[in-house]
Amino acid sequence: MSAGLSRYIATRLGRALLTVIGVITLVFILVRVSPGDPVDAILGDQASAEERAAKRTQLHLDQALPMQFLHFLGDVGDGSLGRSYTRPDESVSSLIGEVLPSTLLLGLFAILVAWAIAIPLGSIAAVKRGSFWDGTARGFALFGIAVPAIWLGPLLVLFFGVKLKWLPLPGDEDVGIEGLILPALTVGAALAAILMRQTRAAMMEVLSEQYVLAARARGVAGWKVVLVHALRNAMLPVMTVGAAQLAGVFSGAVIAEKVFERQGLGTLFLDAYFARDIPVVQGAVLVVAITYVLVNLVVELIYGVVDPRVRVA
């Protein structure tokens, strides 16, 4: 391994670690600046002063903020992320662990759908600029951005579930993999629109590079130039955008899980919000944000290995 590469990896690791620390701190602060009192939220306004005081002590809320922060760090450090207010015998991380696989599966499917639409459509649009396909791609991008997930979900149910009866309806039992298609489309459409634009722009740039012209001049077949010479190089910036979309995937999952009545991190998070189960709310946000940081770190590392130019920057 070259010195440049190891320095690149070390900087990225260091920065990711700093970001994780920042993310933990920010989650702690955000939930504390939220207007309202967790004790009111848990006990309601009927509780006596003693009950409130006891609850306050039990939740460490009577201590100074720095001490509360240390308790929070301890909960993060031992991996439990604290205890749920509504289910005190369960740690937050075990509650999250139960539902996370379902959400990750949905997220992966959504990303797969987004890439399967965006990469071919974006590439064709770039190769055949101004053609019918380019028009279709632009129309799709506009549609994907304008039609919000909160509406797309119900629309898909009406069309594919009710009218065509091809796919299961929300709440149907034992749906298997078919039950994932509509939720994944709901999450993936907006991602696909943005990725498609990015692919089109990156492909257009690469297609005008000298090495692509040189390949064409040497008589390399048209499709081979596009697939081997252009697409491979255009994929790097697209990968970066794809990794940055991970936050959007989780936002979409909250919506899709509600619309399609799926159990997952999104529904756990929303239910915890309505039950004022603060540790679960902050735990879910934390897990998602740290996942984002880690995935982006991996993408950056791959990027650094594949493309030596980025190590210098």
Interface residues with other proteins (CB under 8 A) are 19, 22-23, 26-27, 30-31, 34-38, 40-41, 142, 145-148, 150-151, 153-155, 157-158, 162, 169, 244, 247-251, 254-255, 258-259, 269-270, 273-274, 276, 278, 281-282, 284-285, 288-290, 292-293, 296
Taking the least distance from each CB to other proteins, the nearer of 87 and 216 is 87
N-terminal to C-terminal alpha carbon distance within the chain: 18
CB of 172 to other proteins, least distance (A): 11
Give the count of beta carbons closer than 10 Å to the beta carbon of residue 4: 12
Quick one: residue 270, left, alpha or beta (phi over 0 = left, psi -120 to 50 = alpha)?
A: alpha
Give the count of beta carbons closer than 10 Å to the beta carbon of residue 146: 10
Taking the least distance from each CB to other proteins, the nearer of 202 and 288 is 288
Taking the least distance from each CB to other proteins, the nearer of 77 and 148 is 148
The CA distance from 184 to 168, in Å, is: 13
Taking the least distance from each CB to other proteins, the nearer of 19 and 86 is 19
Taking the least distance from each CB to other proteins, the nearer of 6 and 25 is 25
| CA atoms within 13 A of residue 281's CA, in its CB half-sphere | 18
